[in-house]
Structure 1
Amino acid sequence: MSEIAVTGATGRIGGGVARRLAESGVAQRLLVRDPARAPDLPRSTVAVCSYDDGPAVRAALDGVATAFMVSGAEHPDRVGQHLSFVDSAVAAGVTHLVYLSFYGAAPEATFTLARDHWATEEHIRRSGVAYTFLRDNLYLDFLPMMAGEDGVIRGPAGDGRMAGVAQDDVADVAAAVLRAPREHAAATYHLTGPEALSLAEAAEVLTRVTGRPHSYRPETLEEAYASRAVYGAPSWQVDAWVSTYTAIAAGELLPVTDDVARVAGHPPRSLADVVATSS
């Protein structure tokens, strides 16, 4: 049992991890729902499963010692899907789970989805397998998409700050852990960028790097819910959207850490770095 499994290999993080492992010559099994979208990488095989399909997960993880578990897509029963995957992984003989969690995961976290991550972490802890938790902060790559077509970021974040992290840095850390999982057993890493920014400061960076005017406009809770009602999303989804901002206001996406540098071996990318690279 030496092969590594990577879930979410068709996504930005899982795919990034898979490519990094392939570049290092690591044999891996890519777990995907749609095999047509799986990346074509050397020393890799593809297995098809969804988190809540226990028999398929067990078959996909047969012979795997270490698995990278990307958190599932937002769903009203995401915790149930996560727990099903963990139980199936244990039944298949996986001995180490590397789980992509979220910064500030806690049972009463302001960001509602961070509670899902806490529940998943707790289940993994009780499962008996070795584990490593990667608690990533808000993705810096996502910040430009928080602005409307007019360049305005709107939300109830107040003057709070967040220590956002680049997705590439998360992938670098995950790949480093997967290449030497025993060195990171029972560790929880809090992955941030090099600085803590308010949304007003983030807007200034976006303006400077893109040349397009950006600004931040604080909203009240009532305004935030009203402005998002037009999307017709379920209430749990809107709660998640709004609580992203209120978590910033509450100071729950602080402080800055050096975990990216310590594990990946290089300084973390800044918001300016991420925007300049993507534009």
Structure 2
Amino acid sequence: AYWCAPFDPKSLEAAKLFAEAAEAARLEQIVGLSQWLASPQHPSLLTRDTYAADRLFEGLAPRIAYTAINPGFFADNYLRLIGFAAQLGVLPSLTGDSRNAPPSNEDIARVAVAALSDPAAHAGQRYRPTGPTLLSTADMARIIGSVLRRQVRRVEMPMWLFLKAARMQGANAFELSGFRYYVIDHKQGAFERGAPNDVVERLTGRPAEDFATIAKRYAELPEARRTFGSVLRAWVDFMRTPMMPGFDFRRLDREWGQTLPAPRFAMADPQWAATHGGAVASASRSTGVGRPALA
């Protein structure tokens, strides 16, 4: 069975119920969507709960095998902003010049299917799918511009403004609460570490999709179709975003129990850094994995 945690402060409780159901059904294997960042000291509650869920599922062995798929920042996290690029010629960025080799949703799914198709071969393993090339958001803007056949430039956006824009697009508070921290991990180089790799090709027999290939699919979405009306709406939305309400994360963090006395981001966590030098590690050797909040 495939496990994908909900964006909810009670995701660990959901994982416990899933584990109980898996044992009752006498499953042979669980393949879980985990996180490249996951550790018990990360400031994101979802990331800490993902770490705990990994340990929970690993503890089901040998009755039930566990395989973790632990991508970093998905390509979708950048390309969900393609409407800005298509209508206004800008790609909002929060991550400066830091780089990532972002995988497509489709490649992540193909890796999961490969693991599910042969439980014995993948039992106890942890796989991090990546894209084929390390890119900054400036690189991505150039690629998106080529796909859209217009000039697109990267524009650094302050986090407070991004959070308001994301809320306008329907992102929920818990989803965004973790995203605030993943951007800092990105800037510190956590997603560049161990990337790119050959996990997608090795498990699926097909090379990982490059960013241009992924961007072409997003360019077919309605929000990427440029008309007079769509450009006007984009400008109106852009101008009113600073006046829209945000989230009170201090209050929400207290309600969710998110705050830790001494949290550590991935690259500042010796335990995480010691076990995340490469793409794949045996479950018995690795102690942390991670998934971005917006996936």
Which position in structure 1 is the counterpart of 2:2? 68
Within 5 A, what are the aligned runs for 1:231-246? 236-246=174-184
In the alignment, which of 126, 131, 137 is matched to residue 66 of structure 2?
Answer: 131
Which position in structure 1 is the counterpart of 2:97? 159
| 1:143–1:89 CA distance, 2 compared to 1 (3 A) | same
Per the TM alignment, residue 159 of structure 1 is displaced from its structure 2 partner at its CA by 1.3
- Point out which structure has higher relative CO (alpha carbons under 8 A, 6+ apart): 2
Query: Which amino acid letter does the alignment assign opposite residue 214 of structure 2?
Result: V
Instruction: Please give the alpha-carbon distance, in whole angstroms, between the structure 2 residues aligned to 1:76 and 1:250.
Output: 26
Per the TM alignment, residue 227 of structure 1 is displaced from its structure 2 partner at its CA by 5.9
Corresponding residue SS for 1:74: coil
Per the TM alignment, residue 184 of structure 1 is displaced from its structure 2 partner at its CA by 0.7
- Which string of whole-angstrom CA distances, capped at 9 and with x for unpartnered residues, describes residues 113-161 of structure 1? 4333222111111233211111123222442213535343334312111
Instruction: Please give the alpha-carbon distance, in whole angstroms, between the structure 1 residues aligned to 2:80 and 2:166.
Output: 15
State the percentage of identical aligned residues.
25
Per the TM alignment, residue 172 of structure 1 is displaced from its structure 2 partner at its CA by 1.7
Q: Once structures 1 and 2 are overlaid, which stretch shifts more, 177-186 or 125-134?
A: 125-134
Kindly indicate whether the alpha-carbon contact (under 8 Å) linking 1:192 and 1:268 is maintained by their aligned counterparts in 2: yes
Kindly indicate whether the alpha-carbon contact (under 8 Å) linking 2:74 and 2:104 is maintained by their aligned counterparts in 1: yes
Instruction: Please give the alpha-carbon distance, in whole angstroms, between the structure 2 residues aligned to 1:249 and 1:200.
Output: 14
Within 5 A, what are the aligned runs for 1:46-125? 67-69=1-3, 71-109=4-42, 113-125=46-58
Kindly indicate whether the alpha-carbon contact (under 8 Å) linking 1:155 and 1:224 is maintained by their aligned counterparts in 2: no
Which position in structure 1 is the counterpart of 2:78? 143
In the alignment, which of 120, 123, 130 is matched to residue 185 of structure 1?
Answer: 123
Kindly indicate whether the alpha-carbon contact (under 8 Å) linking 2:31 and 2:68 is maintained by their aligned counterparts in 1: yes
Kindly indicate whether the alpha-carbon contact (under 8 Å) linking 1:156 and 1:242 is maintained by their aligned counterparts in 2: no
In the alignment, which of 188, 193, 196 is matched to residue 256 of structure 1?
Answer: 196
Q: How many residues align?
A: 212
Instruction: Please give the alpha-carbon distance, in whole angstroms, between the structure 2 residues aligned to 1:181 and 1:124.
Output: 14
TM-score, normalised to structure 1's length? 0.67
5+ unaligned residues in a row in structure 1: which ranges? 1-66
Query: Which amino acid letter does the alignment assign opposite residue 103 of structure 2?
Result: V
TM-score, normalised to structure 2's length? 0.63
| 1:204–1:171 CA distance, 2 compared to 1 (3 A) | same
Instruction: Please give the alpha-carbon distance, in whole angstroms, between the structure 1 residues aligned to 2:182 and 2:39.
Output: 14
Whose strand fraction is larger, Structure 1's or Structure 2's? Answer: 1
Query: Which amino acid letter does the alignment assign opposite residue 73 of structure 1?
Result: P
Kindly indicate whether the alpha-carbon contact (under 8 Å) linking 1:177 and 1:184 is maintained by their aligned counterparts in 2: yes
| 1:252–1:265 CA distance, 2 compared to 1 (3 A) | same
